[in-house]
Amino acid sequence: MIRVLFVCLGNICRSPMAEAVFQDMIHKAGLTDQITVDSAGTGYWHVGETAHPGTLAVLRRNNVPYGGRARQLTRADLDRFDYIVAMDRENLSGIRRLGAGSGAEVSLFLRWAKDAGTVAVDEVPDPWYDGKFDHVYQLVKHGCEALLAHIRAQHSL
């Protein structure tokens, strides 16, 4: 099983959106037996909460289901996941601050989409501050498509 973890700050806006979109893509690609998905936040403030209403609304508009609750990233996650993808550089530092894992690929979520030319940035801006959930959804969609292509190529799926 290939394990993918999306990480942001609060685990209520960006990483739950990426988890939901990626899970939906994996389901549609018939890869649920090969790939599992989760998300977490480097911060503790929203632990146990449902996703932000803005994230839930944009997912609903795009027919993507999501029922997860926020949780905080732990040291054990670094050993349990194969791909740990950070929404921005601050999240990347938060992951690295926990220590070194046993071989998980830790990277910026949008790096593969940026390489593919489908997005122009390599960080997902935080909609918590500006409310631009639709813009984030477009970035997340391109990011998930490129991440899935990367994983499929690495694992011959």
Q: Which helix (H) or strand (E) holds 93?
A: helix 89-97
Sole residue written with tokens 């292509």: 149
Q: Which DSSP state fits 65?
A: -
d(CA 19, CA 93): 20
Under rule CB under 6 A, residue 11 binds ligand 4NP:
yes
**15: phi then psi, degrees, rounded to nearest 5:** -70, -35
* Residues 109 and 147: beta-carbon distance below 8 Å: yes
Closer CB to ligand 4NP, 78 or 136, in the complex = 136
Under rule CB under 6 A, residue 4 binds ligand 4NP:
no
Q: How far is the CB of 135 from ligand 4NP (least distance, A)?
A: 13
Under rule CB under 6 A, residue 44 binds ligand 4NP:
no
Under rule CB under 6 A, residue 128 binds ligand 4NP:
yes
**From 23-31, 39-47, 72-80, 109-117, span contacting ligand 4NP (CB under 6 A):** 39-47
Sole residue written with tokens 């977490």: 40
Under rule CB under 6 A, residue 10 binds ligand 4NP:
yes
Active site residues: 8, 14, 126
User: Residue with CB nearest ligand 4NP?
Assistant: 10
